[in-house]
């Protein structure tokens, strides 16, 4: 306790050099590159008349794009909750040949350019592609459908769930599991009563992260979806279309709507993380 106190005092005294210059540089760089450019978006939208804003918000193409983006992101994140948790479980708890390789591969969507992933997916699910061939034979169409949008977002969102759930699974205390087993709990009961409650907050966080990422995703989606207006067009694509029409006002308004949705999600993620920390601290 005493150590913590002195450390705290030392830090407030700013004993190490470089506070002014690093804070100054950080603030200037952040403002010039991120904050001022983002602010222009809100200013531009603010300049629109209320009726113009109303027109944007009630444009059928815009509404449809928001519907496609939200449902596809939600569905993809939901599938990832199951697929990602399963993979996290196996990586955290079982030993098998090639475990390390699989563990490294999980991060592939983080490092692979979205356009490359998108182009490969488009080919995989095309009517003569590796997967598309069989799916088309069973009358399941992925390319140029909203299912294709969801498939692309699933690939992009996959690492988020695995990477948030895996460390928590590794940290669930063996003592508690052993105690439960001694008291006669079955494996399924232990999972339901001990492991699942422990990993649930991180599953929610992973879901929200994948969902938020899916909303903004562009490169991986457009190749497989073809961006058909009213059917597979996602919000970033609508913004892109308005930009090609040189309608900067409308593009900005849609972008602001989208940003507000993302920020709301960001807020939810922060609350979830706070809740998870509090829960873990209480145990």
Partner 1 sequence: MSGAPITIKSKAIESTRSSHTTEPTWVRVVLTVLALGIVAFILVSLLVVIFSEAFSSGWGGYVTALKDPDSIASIWVTITTAAVVVPLNTIFGICAAWVITKFEFWGKSLLITLIDLPFSVSPVISGLVFVLLFGREGYFGPYLKEHHLKIINTEIGVILATTFVTFPFVARELIALMQSQGSEEEQAALVLGANGWQIFTRITLPSIKWGLINGILICNARAMGEFGAVNVVAGILYTIPLQVDNFNSDNNMTAAFALSSLLAMLALVTLVVKKIVEFITERHAVQPE
**What 8-state DSSP symbol labels residue 234?**
-
Task: Check binding of 60 to partner 1 (CB under 8 A).
Answer: no
Task: Check binding of 15 to partner 1 (CB under 8 A).
Answer: yes
Phi, then psi, of 98 in degrees rounded to 5: 85, 10
Give which of 88, 86, 84 is closest to 76, Cα–Cα: 84
* Dist. CA 217–CA 208, nearest whole Å: 14
Judge whether 69 and 234 are in contact, CB under 8 Å.
Answer: yes
Judge whether 207 and 75 are in contact, CB under 8 Å.
Answer: no
Q: Which of residues 30-49 bind partner 1 (CB under 8 A)?
A: 30, 33-38, 40-41, 44
Identify which range of 48-56, 102-110, 142-150, 196-204 contacts partner 1 by CB under 8 A.
102-110
Task: Check binding of 91 to partner 1 (CB under 8 A).
Answer: yes
Give which of 36, 47, 78 is closest to 248, Cα–Cα: 47
144-163 footprint of partner 1 as x/- string (CB under 8 A): ----------xx--x-----
Nearer to partner 1, 143 or 154 (CB): 154
Nearer to partner 1, 63 or 115 (CB): 115
Nearer to partner 1, 63 or 181 (CB): 181
* Dist. CA 66–CA 190, nearest whole Å: 41
Task: Check binding of 215 to partner 1 (CB under 8 A).
Answer: yes
Count the site residues for partner 1 by CB under 8 A: 99
Identify which range of 138-146, 198-206, 244-252, 275-283 contacts partner 1 by CB under 8 A.
244-252
CB of 52 to partner 1, least distance (A): 16
* Dist. CA 63–CA 56, nearest whole Å: 9
* Dist. CA 201–CA 274, nearest whole Å: 10
Q: Which of 1, 2, 5, 17 binds partner 1 (CB under 8 A)?
A: 17
Task: Check binding of 61 to partner 1 (CB under 8 A).
Answer: no
């Amino acid at each position: 306790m005493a150590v913590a106190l002195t450390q705290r005092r030392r830090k407030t005294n700013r004993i190490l050099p470089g506070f002014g210059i690093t804070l100054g540089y950080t603030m200037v760089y952040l403002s010039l590159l991120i904050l001022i450019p983002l602010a222009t978006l809100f200013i531009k939208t603010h300049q629109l008349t209320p009726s113009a804003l109303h027109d944007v918000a009630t444009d059928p193409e815009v509404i449809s794009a928001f519907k496609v983006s939200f449902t596809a992101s939600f569905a993809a994140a939901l599938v990832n909750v199951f697929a990602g948790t399963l993979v996290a479980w196996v990586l955290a708890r079982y030993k098998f040949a090639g475990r390390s390789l699989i563990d490294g591969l999980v991060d592939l969507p983080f490092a692979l350019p979205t356009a490359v992933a998108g182009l490969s997916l488009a080919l995989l699910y095309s009517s003569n592609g590796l997967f598309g061939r069989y799916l088309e034979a069973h009358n399941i169409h992925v390319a140029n459908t909203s299912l294709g949008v969801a498939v692309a977002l699933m690939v992009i969102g996959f690492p988020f769930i695995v990477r948030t759930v895996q460390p928590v699974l590794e940290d669930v205390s063996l003592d508690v599991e052993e105690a439960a087993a001694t008291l006669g709990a079955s494996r399924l009961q232990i999972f339901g009563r001990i492991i699942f409650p422990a990993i649930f907050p991180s599953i929610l966080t992973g879901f929200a992260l994948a969902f938020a990422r899916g909303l903004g995703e562009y490169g991986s989606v457009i190749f497989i979806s073809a961006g058909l207006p009213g059917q597979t067009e996602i919000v970033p694509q609508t913004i892109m279309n308005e930009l090609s029409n040189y309608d900067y006002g409308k593009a900005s308004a849609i972008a602001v709507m989208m940003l507000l949705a993302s920020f709301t999600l960001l807020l939810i993620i922060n609350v979830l993380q706070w809740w998870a920390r509090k829960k873990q601290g209480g145990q």
